Structure formats: structure tokens, C-alpha cells
Amino acid sequence: MEKCPIPKNPKALQGFLGFMGYYKRFVQRYGKIVKPPTQLLFKDGFHWTIEAQHAFEALKKVVSQLLVLAVIDFSKSFTLETDASSKRSKVNCCYIKTLSAYQP
């Protein structure tokens, strides 16, 4: 996560926000955090701002702190969520805390 490059164009920013969008259910005030970079997608020209940089760093930090590496506990209910493209893939194991909440 630390090595994630700063988006240089709208397509790269859309990719980053799409990737981070998966974690929005785990991040308090996600919409407020991503507002500055999201606004860059609706303006003429792509000019990375200080506000967008702060939001980018804050989002990387928050999401990095969410992730926990652990051995799967097969005695608990969990889901496996997968995603793949030609360049990367990911698998998330989420334990089911309640019927409507997941924990990464």
C-alpha cells in the first residue's frame, strides 16, 4: 500500500478509487476523505492538488491499518471475495460478525 503511486491521470485515479471503494464499508467518513480526489474527475484538466494528496495519503493509511494477516479460523463463518484482472488479483477473507456486517 505504501508503494501505491500517485495517480497521474483520470484513468489511474478511477482505478485507485475503484480499488479503495471495496473498503469504504470499513472506513468511517469515507465519502469525506475521497471528496477532493473525486472532484478532480469532474473538472476540465487533471491537476493534482494538495487536498487530493492529503486525501490520497489518508486513505492509504486508513486502509493499511484495516488489513490484518491471520490464519483462517475454520470454526467461524467467513466469505472469500476474489477479484482479478490481467495485471493483478486479490482475495479477501471476511469473517461474518452479524448477518449484515463483515470484518476484513
Note if the pTM is more than 0.75.
no
Which sequence spans correspond to the domains of the chain? 1-67, 69-104
User: What is the mean predicted confidence (pLDDT) over 49-70?
Assistant: 86
Q: Report the run of H or E that residue 80 belongs to, with start and end.
A: strand 78-84
First to last CA, the chain: 16
Cell numbers standing for residue 36:
477532493
- For the cut 80, the answer to whether the pLDDT of residue 57 exceeds it is yes
User: What is the mean predicted confidence (pLDDT) over 7-17?
Assistant: 93
Determine the pLDDT at residue 94.
77
104 band by pLDDT with thresholds 50, 70 and 90: low
Per DSSP, 102 falls in state: E
- Interval 64-92: pLDDT, tens: 887 665 677 888 888 888 888 888 887 87
**52 HSE (CA, 13 A, CB side):** 17
Determine the pLDDT at residue 12.
94
